[in-house]
């Protein structure tokens, strides 16, 4: 299906000017199945740190289930999945999770990915900065985390550029299927 011709009109929760473009951050929606499937499959080899999201979007049918689940989780405040669009295009070119929500201590964790064609333009840093403000002011969270493998230079830089501070190494925290567990770095920012 051509997402450009769909009649679905996503309502952004945030829109950010970026040069001549406008970046729209939208809540995941059940109509996003085809577009998220396209995005994930086009970027599949870069999804090492999102094995579940990758597996859940290998086909349009799986993506249909995925978006229905994520929409439900958004509404029940269990996990927030935001998708990125540029200008009037309905094509999804990135996502940001606020996941691992602990409402008792008002804490959540970011996870993000951007289309390979947009990498290195400062866009993810901009999204994380804006969504940190949204998380503190609208969601009323107090602590936000980023957990990253030290070799993922782009992601480490996103954390640092968004003023997250390194807290500690989490030993053997990331357990990719069929591979040895890996240490990852915990970064945090506070309200």
Ligand X SMILES: CC(C)(COP(=O)(O)OP(=O)(O)OC[C@H]1O[C@@H](n2cnc3c(N)ncnc32)[C@H](O)[C@@H]1OP(=O)(O)O)[C@@H](O)C(=O)NCCC(=O)NCCS
* Positions that interact with ligand X (CB under 6 A): 46, 49, 111-114, 119-125, 148, 152-155, 157-158, 161
- Cβ-proximal residue to ligand X, closest one: 154
Compute the least distance from the CB of residue 7 to ligand X, in Å. Answer: 29
Compute the least distance from the CB of residue 61 to ligand X, in Å. Answer: 24
CA–CA dist 73, 78 (Å, integer): 5
CA–CA dist 90, 26 (Å, integer): 11
C-beta separation of 161 from 123 below 8 A: no
> Which residues pair with residue 146 across a beta bridge?
110, 187
Residue 101 or 186 having the CB closest to ligand X: 186
> Which residues pair with residue 165 across a beta bridge?
188
Residue 31 or 188 having the CB closest to ligand X: 188
Provide φ and ψ at 181, rounded to 5°.
-60, 150
Compute the least distance from the CB of residue 163 to ligand X, in Å. Answer: 13
CA–CA dist 69, 97 (Å, integer): 14
Residue 1 or 172 having the CB closest to ligand X: 172
Compute the least distance from the CB of residue 187 to ligand X, in Å. Answer: 10
DSSP-derived 3-state class of residue 77: coil
Residue 33 or 158 having the CB closest to ligand X: 158
């Amino acid at each position: 299906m051509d997402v450009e011709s769909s009649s679905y009109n996503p309502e952004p929760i945030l829109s950010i000017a970026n040069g001549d473009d406008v970046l729209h951050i939208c809540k995941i929606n059940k109509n996003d199945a085809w577009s998220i499937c396209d995005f994930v499959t086009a970027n599949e080899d870069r999804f090492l740190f999102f094995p579940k999201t990758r597996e859940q979007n290998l086909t349009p049918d799986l993506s249909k289930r995925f978006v229905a689940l994520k929409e439900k989780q958004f509404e029940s405040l269990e996990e927030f999945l935001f998708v990125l669009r540029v200008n009037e295009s309905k094509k999804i070119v990135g996502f940001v999770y606020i996941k691992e929500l602990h409402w008792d201590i008002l804490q959540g964790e970011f996870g993000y990915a951007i289309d390979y064609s947009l990498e290195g333009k400062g866009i993810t840093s901009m999204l994380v900065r804006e969504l940190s403000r949204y998380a503190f002011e609208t969601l009323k969270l107090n602590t936000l985390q980023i957990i990253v493998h030290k070799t993922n230079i782009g992601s480490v830089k996103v954390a640092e550029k968004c003023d997250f501070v390194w807290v500690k190494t989490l030993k053997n925290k990331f357990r990719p299927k069929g591979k040895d567990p890996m240490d990852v770095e915990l970064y945090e920012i506070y309200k």
